[in-house]
Structure 1
Amino acid sequence: MQNKWIYILLTLASVITYGQVNLTLDADKNEYGGKDIVNLTIVLELNGSDLVQQTGFQLPDLSKFNIIGSGSVTNTVIDPATNTLITQKVSRIALEPKKKGKIKIGSVLVTVNNKIYKTEPFDVNIRDIVDKRSLASNTSGEVYLNMEIEDREVYQDQPTIAVLKVYSRNMDNLRKVKNIRLPQQDNINVHPINFAKSEIDPSGNGNMASQVLAMFMVFPNEAGYVEVPGVSASVSTYSHKNKIVSNKVKLNVRKLPEGAPESFKNAVGNFNVSVYNASKEKPEAKKPMNVVVKLTGEGNLPDLELPKIAASPDYEVFAPKITSKVSPGTTGMKGVVLANYVIIPNKSGDISIKTEPFSFFDPQDRDYIDIGQKILAVKTFSHDQIMESRTTVEKVNEYTNNLLETVNTPVLKTTSFKVKEKSKFHWSILLTNIAILLGLFIAYLLFKTWQKKRTLVRETVSQKPLGSVAETEKEIRELMKTDINDYFGYLENLKDNNEYDKFFATLEELDQEVRNQYFKGSVAEFKTFLEKHKGSSLAEEYGNLQQRIEMEKYSPVKSLEGIEELLKTIVNLYSQISK
């Protein structure tokens, strides 16, 4: 009987402890000064694997504060004593008080397994308040930027994704935020992912509407606590332009593990290296050849130190030309980086062109991977060997090509008729070269005859009276004037066909044509010209349009709605400029 009661008590104890939900809301202190930040901490603890959080945290009315930052972290452990799954979610909200006195902070609500849990409300006392105007006071004083970085613990040179959001009680204010400037600092490298604005969320924190403005990757290049500076933007209205700045975020950057190979420098991710000969001609001693070192992969690709071609007495190597094509990936920037070297072999025969050893750190495997050196075996020939290996037809073709390269008439660009080396004899190529030379000679004679006749006609025609400089410039502008409506129609077709590369190339051509009408070579000169002759408002619109075009052009994900809105702005602005 006694054992039976013990069994019942143990069963009741296990039922009481199993499936427990704890929800708390605390402030870091009870009394604050006017310049202090109120830090709220929300903790939700679920003891049991069958507990499911069905809703997010429903915050109380925080209209008496400015929300300047927020973040959350989730931890899951198993209690070894009871073998119970414990899930803990911690969220922190940083608030700036708007008024002094006693302010009540209400309850936080959350739904777990169809049951609503809430915290107890409490008061905080604000001793005094500094009366300061918001940086965006002309927009109702309620436009705030917030930078969110969920993964704040990364390795050195490992990326973390940052999301920039804007908050305001007035949805119209969200459309006035422009000119986003990403943070710049020596101990971080920042690369944009996209600047495409999301749909407006009307139910953001503190009953304020919110919108995602930008996403970017942050690569901390030193270990320790690294603070990411705030992102700045401007809030533009008809009469003012005000600057707003987001919160700062501190990252815990872990130092890379010990035991790195000697060839490791700063490559973090997953990469591969290859080397190849890009020259089409046979390698010849004492003649330059192009050798390319190709690095592909995903990680801190734009910022890592490329493996160089190792020095050797067999060849002379010069500084490379670096080209890259990278785009945002899931674990970093992915793509390809090419280092194009000019190498001059010092001797004929077999030579080995080697790269420096290369290794990288893989954050997923938490280990260093050494891929060693890459070797390109090249057989070079002396000049006599190259000449002996050529056939008679190849020598004739080389002589013709040299002639076409050095003799160029104003009538026809002959260098485009160069003949490539062929391994077979082609009579058609030889006859074509002879015909081209005869045609060029006849065209040259005709051109000289036409020049003499033109000189005689010019001497007999009376000179037209010269006008003023302004009249002459106006006449030239009218002759150079381009019908931009043709460009508008072509851009519309490119947009409908999703040919965005041609779209932006045509747009650059349109801008160049319009600037040529006013004899302005650069965008800066043209903007100054517009400000002087057509008003500062139109010049500012032109500058903002150029910046917006650059953002849309290099955005990895392009939306049809964004391109349509951009095209409408282009048609409106260039129509005003060309009046």
Structure 2
Amino acid sequence: MQYKLIYIFLTLASVISYGQVNLSMDADKSEYGGKDIVNLTIVLELNGSDLEQQTKFQLPDLSKFNIIGSGSFTNTFIDPATNTQIIQKISRIALEPKKKGKIKIGSVLVTVNNKIYKTEPFDVSVRDVIEKKSLAGNTSNEIYLNMEIEDKEVYQDQPTIAVLKVYSRNMDNLRKVKNIRLPQQDNINVHAINFNKSEIDPSGYGNMASQVLAMFMVFPNEAGYVEVPSVSASVSSYSNKSKIVSNKIKLNVKKLPEGAPNCFKNAVGNFKVSVYSPAKENAETQKPLNVIVKVSGEGNLPDMELPKIASSPDYEVFAPKITSRVSPGTTGMKGEILANYVVIPKKTGVISIKTEKFAFFNPEKSEYTDLGQKMLSVDALSHEDAMESRSTVEKVNEYTNNLLETVNTPVLKTTSFKVKEKSKFHWNILLINIAILLALFVAYLIFKTWQKKRTLVRETVPSKSLGSVAETEKELRKMLKTDIDDYFSYLENLKDNGEYEKFFATLEEMDQDVRNEYSQGSTTEFKAFLDRYKGSSVAEEYGTLQQKIQIEKYAPVKSSEGLDELLKAIVNLYSQISK
């Protein structure tokens, strides 16, 4: 009986050791300063090939922190003592505390083989933390700037896209934000994507209206935790001008992997290098030759170090002129950069103009690519050989250009341009001139006759009576009368086509024409005029209609039913006014 119990105990022990699950979470330390980062490490160890992780790590409530970075990796190996497969899954999370004091970090949950495992909660102590708001700005103005970066974990010199938004409870404040200044700092390079304002979102953060103001790329040029500074802008109104700033964001910049080629400097992306000469004529010794090194692709193109032309005793090279043709892409700045060098060959024969070796890191493949050297072969001729290889026309052009450039040209003799007198008289020219003079004289007589007839007709027409002042005013009013029906049909077309901005602009133009018809400048004067001559009901209806127009004009979402009702009211009222 005793041997059976020992056998059962050993069997259970072997089963337990074969299918063991260990889950733990620890912080790098228990006390943190105001600027320290809380680093959490979660380790899941599965001892046994039959164990299956069914869910991801379910993190505890981390609302008292800002998550500024995370990463994970998996290790798999065989324990030689027990011949058991061991899988280790390790995740790390970098947190920024929002508040000071003792903060409790709860349990991490994970399900393995239909069983839930959890870690033990623990406390961390944080001191001297300055509270930060997710939206930074001047609260008195009720307008805020917020910078958002979705990908906060990138490689060094790899771009991440930042979006700048403005928030306000009053939509009218969104139009007052101007003069956006992107962040500038030594450890980041910033390139604008666009400053195109988006459509206004009426239901943004905290039930405030929001609008995208700008998008830009941030290229961190050093590893570690890099803080992107605030973006600033000005809020201009008729009374004053104030400045608002956005929040700051920390990036977890990963160091580039080991094993970089010796020629790698700071190029991150995907690039190509080529070298060529745009000159069509043959190269000549001791004469300048243009050689262009072109780097094209997408990445940190404007900020990377370009490959130079390597020095050689066969030629002399001078500093290049850089031409940049880049624009924002999906994974960086894309386009091409041209380095135009002046190279002077020093010997005759075939000369190899080589660039420095060039390598770049591709973050999509997480590997380095070595492009090596690029070479341009040039056959340099002596001056005599170059002259012999040219055609006769090229030699004449060369000689003429040299003469004009180097020789002072004497004053030309004007006598050589003097027209010589001819003894023969040309009767044809005389007859043509006489015919032209006769034609002009006949045209003048016809014009004078037509002018006299027109004067006689004007004198025989009886003059019309000017009439009284009231009749004259009535005639002028008929001439100035606005064709209101054309406006109605045009407004109907604009409404049906959804051209709402043009609809309200045309409506203001129609209202201005109607007021001008009655010589009334402002809406207040016109309302008083309607009260005197059309009745108080029409005047009140006019004032109410103006309020409805303003409400519909500035409504964030315009409905076709509301505009139909508004257009019916406009047609009804303005038809009564224009009677």
TM-score when normalising by structure 2: 0.48
Greater Cα radius of gyration, structure 1 or 2: 2
